[in-house]
């Protein structure tokens, strides 16, 4: 059941765009952490895009919430954008949306004041991204008829597959990574000379 006003359309549209943007932010975040690069772009583009697109996503979500509130077909209180389960309409699914938005705000605010924050605390909050995205996804599927069939469903599923693949790659990379105490031993072993006539060293550049 949905309204036919422009506000309702705007809310649905900004919602799906926000989901796409959040998918991009998560993938970019993983790229930053793993020092990956986007082809043809300088390194600072990855960090810049990650930060800027996250702010863009927040803007889209703000519009997404506002337009849903302004639409008069159903009553959605403004606070339900940030206070979970405060809406009478679709209490559960909108509640998940609020939770995910709260997590996003926490990540962004802590990143803005990062210099004054304990490193471990910042990282712990930033890791909530892996909770934030699935909750946003659940909100999207559960609260919108659009996303439950047709090309929009395909789009949403594609985003989910991208996130799962990226997160899986991130986990595998972490599993491969040597703990600090073992790195030195590994590099020493790699550069040990072979044979009595000196070494033919591999000139690999090992970064941590």
Partner 1 sequence: MTMAPVNETVNEAGNETAHETVNEATGGAIRPSAAGLPRLLPLIPGVPEDLRGHLARYGRPPYRGGPGHLIQAVEQAGLTGRGGAAFPVHRKLAIVARARGRKVIVANGAESEPASHKDALLLRAAPNLVLDGLQLAAEAIGASEAYLYLHPGASPEVLRALNQRAAVGLDWLGVTIAEAPPRFLAGQESALVNRLGGGPAVPTFVPPRVTERGLGGAPTLVQNVETLAHLALIARYGPRWFRALGTAREPGSMLATVHTSDISQVVEAEIGAPLRTLVNPEGAQAVLVGGYHGTWLPVGTVSTLTLGNQALSQHGAAVGAGVIAALPADRCGLAEAARVVRYLAAESAGQCGPCLNGLPRMAAALAELAGQGHRRQVRADLERWAGLVTGRGACNHPDGTARFVRSALTVFAPEIGRHARGHCSATNRRPFLPLPDSMPISEEDWI
Partner 2 sequence: MADTLRVNPINCSGHGVCAELLPELVALDEWGYPILDPHPVPPSLDLEARRAVAACPTLALKLARQ
Sign of dihedral through CA atoms 160, 21, 110, 45? positive
Partner that binds at residue 39, options partner 1, partner 2, none, CB closer than 5 to 8 Å by kind: none
Contact yes or no for 166/27 (Cβ under 8 A)? yes
208 touches partner 2 (CB under 8 A):
yes
188 touches partner 1 (CB under 8 A):
yes
- Which letter, b or e, does each residue of 88-109 get, where b requires 16 or more Cβ atoms within 10 Å of its Cβ? eebeebbbbbbbbbbbbeebee
Partner that binds at residue 182, options partner 2, partner 1, none, CB closer than 5 to 8 Å by kind: partner 1
CB of 127 to partner 1, least distance (A): 21
Of 22-30, 57-65, 151-159, 173-181, which part binds partner 1 (CB under 8 A)? 173-181
205 touches partner 2 (CB under 8 A):
yes
CA-to-CA dists, residue 189 to 25, 80, 186, 193, angstroms: 38, 58, 5, 9
Q: DSSP letter at 194?
A: -
Nearer to partner 1 (CB atom), residue 150 or residue 179: 179
Q: Which helix (H) or strand (E) holds 6?
A: helix 6-33
List of residues 6+ apart from 175 with CB closer than 8 A: none
How many residues of this chain interact with partner 2, rule: CB under 8 A? Answer: 15
Question: What is the distance between the terminal CA atoms of the chain, rounded to a whole angstrom?
Answer: 54
CB of 182 to partner 1, least distance (A): 6
Rounded distance between C-alpha atoms, residue 189 and residue 186, angstroms: 5
Nearer to partner 2 (CB atom), residue 43 or residue 91: 43
35 touches partner 2 (CB under 8 A):
yes
CB of 187 to partner 2, least distance (A): 10
115 touches partner 2 (CB under 8 A):
yes
Interacting residues with partner 2 (CB under 8 A): 32-33, 35, 42-44, 47-48, 114-115, 119, 205-208
């Amino acid at each position: 059941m949905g309204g036919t006003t422009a506000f309702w359309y705007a809310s649905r549209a900004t919602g799906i765009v926000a989901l796409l943007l959040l998918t991009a932010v998560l993938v970019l975040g993983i790229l930053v952490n793993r020092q990956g690069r986007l082809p043809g772009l300088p390194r600072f583009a990855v960090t810049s895009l990650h930060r800027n697109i996250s702010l863009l996503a927040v803007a889209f979500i703000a519009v997404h919430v506002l337009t849903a509130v302004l639409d008069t077909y159903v009553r959605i209180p403004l606070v339900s954008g940030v206070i979970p389960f405060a809406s009478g309409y679709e209490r559960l699914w909108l509640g998940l949306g609020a939770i995910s938005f709260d997590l996003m705000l926490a990540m962004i605010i802590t990143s803005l004041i990062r210099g004054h924050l304990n490193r471990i605390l910042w990282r712990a909050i930033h890791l909530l991204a892996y909770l934030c995205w699935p909750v946003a996804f659940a909100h999207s599927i559960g609260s919108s008829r659009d996303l439950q069939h047709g090309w929009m469903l395909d789009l949403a599923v594609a985003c989910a597959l991208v996130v799962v693949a990226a997160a899986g790659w991130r986990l595998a990379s972490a599993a491969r990574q040597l703990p600090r105490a073992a790195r030195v031993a590994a590099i020493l072993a790699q550069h040990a000379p072979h044979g009595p006539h000196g070494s033919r060293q591999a000139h690999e550049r090992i970064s941590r």
